[in-house]
Amino acid sequence: MKKNRGLYIHIPFCTHLCSYCDFSKLLYDKDLVKRYLDELNLELQERKIKDITSIYIGGGTPTSLDEEELEYLLKMIDEFFIEGISYTIEANVENLTPNKIKILKKHGINRISLGVQTFDDNLLKLINRFHSYNDTKRVINEIVENGINDINIDLIYGLPLEDMNLLKKDLDIAMTLPLTHISTYSLMINKNTKMYIDGWKEKDEDEIRKMYDYIVSYLKEHGFNRYEVSNFSKDGYESKHNLIYWHNEEYYGVGLGASGYIDGIRYTNTKSINKYLNHMRNYESEILKEDDICFYDVMLGLRLKEGILENKIINKEKMNELIRRNLLVRCENRIRVNDEYLFILDYILKELL
């Protein structure tokens, strides 16, 4: 069977900073973008990329690039594109114009992952997002009109001032849109974010749990299956690229701070833009031994509803104990986390690894 192999390309620029964001990102700057794309082009050539089964352009905000920069980026990726593979780009509503959608389509992009976060205009303002519900509706229509039909949205729940009614409203609206995939994340308020400095607090664990359970049952009822802890899709629309990560398969990571896993080596590029632009990109790398590979197989694979092959788990005694406690479930030769306990996956992994 042909192995999957992904290509991840990182675009670190954003046109503004969201008040909850603690990812490393850079404010858009035309001159910096030009130098970055030139360096990215060199890295793409030097990585000797081959046999790709999916491409994913993430950020930051890849669509913060202007039309010319986007063309330049996609042209350099063209040579790795093979007809029929999954090709995703992350996009923000406020900068995905009809012309940019046409450029994406022209270069073979067939899946868009849209940073929606919520449909509530007041909550959007609170988290410093620059789009509105109406903008989201319009952009999704434009995507479909241009022939891209595989659309994910990211939704955040547990936002301050968001109650169960607002959460339900977000989900009700999502169901009116032509979506194939939904990723949901509970809001984390980390130090150094504007929300933290402004004194906002995360909701307590019980409330978050209630919201998560509600999302899971709501989406299931509406034909979106949870195939990973935070990811839901219609049948056949699971993210092929992200499945590569969870199946612990190989992928190239290209760009600032990007990670890759090729030929048994996991590597991470520098997060320093100065070093990256000066061709000093390698930050750390690890040659994996068999035990390490099993560790990653378990840590990543148990996130999936399908679970992992039993023979990947080294600590059988612990595994059996977790099965007795009903936290893990055995199904033929596979082990998976009991649906009810996916919420405490971190605890289960700690016990098992």
Positive or negative, the CA dihedral 18, 141, 182, 108 is negative
We find the least distance from the C-beta atom of residue 257 to ligand SF4, in angstroms, to be: 12
For ligand SF4, the closer of residues 40 and 328 by Cβ is: 40
For ligand SF4, the closer of residues 17 and 82 by Cβ is: 17
We find the least distance from the C-beta atom of residue 245 to ligand SF4, in angstroms, to be: 19
Can you list the positions of beta strands (E) in the chain?
A: 5-11, 13-14, 26-27, 54-59, 86-92, 111-117, 150-157, 181-186, 225-228, 231-233, 250-254, 259-262, 265-269, 282-287, 308-309, 328-331, 334-337
Can you list the positions of beta strands (E) in 288-339?
A: 308-309, 328-331, 334-337
60 interacts with ligand SF4 by CB under 6 A: yes
3-state DSSP assignment of residue 52: coil
* Residue 23-42 contact track with ligand SF4, rule CB under 6 A, x = bound: x-x-----------------
We find the least distance from the C-beta atom of residue 263 to ligand SF4, in angstroms, to be: 30
61 interacts with ligand SF4 by CB under 6 A: yes
For residues 275 and 35, the answer to whether their CB atoms sit within 8 Å is no
Report DSSP state, residue 53.
Answer: S
14 interacts with ligand SF4 by CB under 6 A: yes
113 interacts with ligand SF4 by CB under 6 A: no
For ligand SF4, the closer of residues 69 and 250 by Cβ is: 69
CA trace torsion 10, 14, 18, 24 (10° rounding):
40
We find the least distance from the C-beta atom of residue 283 to ligand SF4, in angstroms, to be: 20
184 interacts with ligand SF4 by CB under 6 A: no
Residues at the interface with ligand SF4 (CB under 6 A): 14, 17-18, 21, 23, 25, 59-61, 92, 115
